[in-house]
Every structure is written in C-alpha cells, then in structure tokens.
Amino acid sequence: MNQPAIARRALLAAAVPVAGAVHAQAFPDRPMRMLVGFAPGGTTDIVARVAAEAMGQDLGQPMAVENRGGAGGVPAALAMLQVSADGHVLMLQSGGLNQAEALGTPLPFDVVAAFAPVGLVGTSAISLVVHPSIPATNLAELRKHVRRSGRPLRVGSPGVSLTSHLYGQELGIEVEEIRYRGTGLVVNDLLAGRVDAYSIALPGILTHIRSGGLRAIAIASTTRSPVMPELATTVEQGFPGIISASWFGVVARAGTPPERLERLSQSVSKLLSDPMLRARLGEAGVDVAPETSPESFDRLIREDRARWDLVVQRGNLRL
C-alpha cells in the first residue's frame, strides 16, 4: 500500500472516536417537553414551569410544559409511556400515581419501574384545617370531640384523599370522606360548614386561615412550615405516624441512557442552587429540596408508595 493511502487510513481511524464522542455529547439535540398530570395554575403546574424554564436554559433547548390533567396524573404517565426513552420528554411527577396504584386503580404500568428518577425539586407538607365550629385547636382535642360526638369527621377531598384516612387511622376516629370535583368546591363547603375538615397543602388555604374563616390544627410533617411557623406538627402533637406531603420531582422514561439521566440530574441540581428560583418556588408554597440525586429521589418515591399501600390495606380501601 502506498504512503498516501496509509496516511488517509490513519486519518480516518483517528477521526472515528472523535466523531463518536461528539455524537455522545449531542444531548439534547432538539426541543424538549415536560408533561404535567394536573391542570394549569396549581402548585404542580407552577413547579413544572419553573423547572422547565430553568432546565431548558441550562440544557440549551426550549422545554415546553404540556398539561394532561386528571386521575392523579395517570393521563400524563400514560403519555410518557408512548415516548422514546431518550431523555427529551420528562414528567413532573407527584404522589398521585402512588395513591392511585395503592387504591387499585387499573394501570398498565408499575408506577416505580416505568420511570427513571432524575431529581426531587421540593415538597409541601399537608395541613389539617377545620371549620371554626369544630371545638378543637389540636389533634388531641379533635380526637376527643369526634369520639364524644358519636358521628364521623366529615372530611372533604377533591377526588380521593388517603391523607384523610391516615388521620382517621392514627387518631383512632371514624372519617367520612366527601368527594368533590375540585379544590374550590371543597373550600366553599368547608367555609359554609357543610363539611368539618380538609387536608391540603398549607399555601393553598393560608388566606382563609389568616382571615379566621378556617382553623389549622396540625401540619403532617417532622418540621414546621416557614409559611406558618406557629402551627405545630403532627409529630410534636404526639402522632408521628401522620406524615404526608405533596412532593414534586422530575422523572424520565425508564431505559433512558445513564449518561443522559446524569446530565438531567445535574440540571435539576443547578436549579435548586439558584436563589432566585428557590424564591419563586417558595412563593408558591414549596419547600425546596436542599439537594437531590436520582438515588435519593428514588428512595422517597418508594417510601411514599409503601406508606399509602399500608393506609389502603389498614382501611380496606381498595377500589
């Protein structure tokens, strides 16, 4: 073989790994999407839009938010199953899928195995609020009142609220869940005294608490909320089994290449370290995660799933 031919082959051989490296780094290489299992305007939607904007800027591609509300996030999850596992379509997941699965909702997927955790963005602990006519300012007084009344505590919920049943089980009282088609309808009836109580993330009800229209008696967490630091936690009140929080995190489709998951996780971590973004999320009532990783987020999802499985089993609540 002549010298020019040998030289050309050497150049081609040297170029192959370089081209391969460039191809491996070309992620993302097109606009991205983030699916949300709830309607626009709520806390989950706000978190998704903050995360999508920040991650899109960091990754160098626009990231559109696509709302597919209903059934605790199931429609969004089903849409995720239809996309390629290449990391270009993400989902802002919350605990609704775990509760739906625990209740026995027919699902063509495993809520843990179907998705690859990228990173937790934040949480929002659930508070228990009551109508002012209920003579209770804490959980012990509420338990005493319900037992003396001889009737169940009527708790409103925009769908199915396993947190309401968790309170009932841990307090040893009967709870009657009154289901509505939306949060606004629950709040209206609670303000009117047609239901006794409601379990809801604190920011969504704070205005009515401050005005005296409703009374908050506990927050289901190990730590007090910065939004209302005077409200005692369930743990402080002697009920450590009552822990419940809305959580919000980014997931990809299971099977997404590890190097892409790592790049996406780095983007979520960068979001969490930005003071301005943390402030925006805080204004929406979200306790921003101090740090995150796919592994820690995976543990949270699995622990949450086990908690609701136990609540459903104890209360014989499967559909």
| CA count, 13 A, side-chain hemisphere, 233 | 18
DSSP-derived 3-state class of residue 45: helix
pLDDT at 214: 97
Q: Is residue 269 included in any domain, yes or no?
A: yes
Q: Is residue 1 included in any domain, yes or no?
A: no
pLDDT at 50: 95
- What predicted TM-score, i.e. pTM, was given to this entire model? 0.81
CA distance 68 to 200: 22
pLDDT at 96: 85
What tokens appear for 188 in the block? 């209206």
130 and 119, same domain (yes or no): no
43 and 54, same domain (yes or no): yes
CA distance 81 to 214: 41
77 and 151, same domain (yes or no): no
87 and 140, same domain (yes or no): no
What tokens appear for 178 in the block? 């009154």
CA distance 118 to 69: 21
Rg of the chain, C-alpha, whole Å: 23
66 and 89, same domain (yes or no): yes
What tokens appear for 70 in the block? 């209903």
Q: Would the CA dihedral through 8, 11, 16, 19 be positive or negative?
A: negative
Q: Is residue 240 included in any domain, yes or no?
A: no
Secondary element (H or E) of residue 2:
none
73 and 150, same domain (yes or no): no
Cis before 28? omega within 30: yes
CA dihedral 271, 297, 81, 160 (to 10 degrees): -110
Q: How far is CA 303 from CA 8, 13, 95, 244, 308, in A?
A: 58, 50, 11, 11, 9
If the chain, 319 residues long, is cut into consecutive pieces of 10 residues, what is the mean pLDDT of each piece? 48 43 69 91 87 97 90 87 96 91 91 96 93 97 97 87 91 92 86 95 86 96 88 97 92 97 97 93 86 94 93 90
Query: Backbone dihedral region of 171: left (phi > 0), alpha (psi from -120 to 50 degrees) or beta?
Result: alpha
What residue type is assigned to position 128 of the chain?
L
Residue ending a domain, among 200, 219, 238, is 219
Q: Is residue 177 included in any domain, yes or no?
A: yes
CA distance 274 to 249: 17
150 and 208, same domain (yes or no): yes
The helices-and-strands tally (H runs, E runs) of the chain is 11, 10
Q: Is residue 197 included in any domain, yes or no?
A: yes
User: What CATH number should be reported for the domain holding residue 65?
Assistant: 3.40.190.150
What residue type is assigned to position 86 of the chain?
D
pLDDT at 25: 59
255 and 294, same domain (yes or no): yes
| Closest residue by Cα to residue 166 from 195, 206, 126 | 126
Structural domain count, the chain: 2
CA distance 111 to 91: 13
User: What CATH number should be reported for the domain holding residue 180?
Assistant: 3.40.190.10
213 and 150, same domain (yes or no): yes
Q: Residue 250 in contact with residue 51, Cβ under 8 Å?
A: yes
Q: How far is CA 82 from CA 36, 64, 77, 86, 93, in A?
A: 15, 17, 9, 12, 16
Q: Is residue 234 included in any domain, yes or no?
A: no
Domain assignment of residue 44, given as a range: 32-124+246-315
118 and 145, same domain (yes or no): no
Q: Residue 83 in contact with residue 253, Cβ under 8 Å?
A: yes
119 and 146, same domain (yes or no): no
pLDDT at 278: 92
159 and 197, same domain (yes or no): yes
216 strand-pairing partners = 129
Within a 10 A sphere around the Cβ of 178, how many other Cβ atoms? Answer: 18
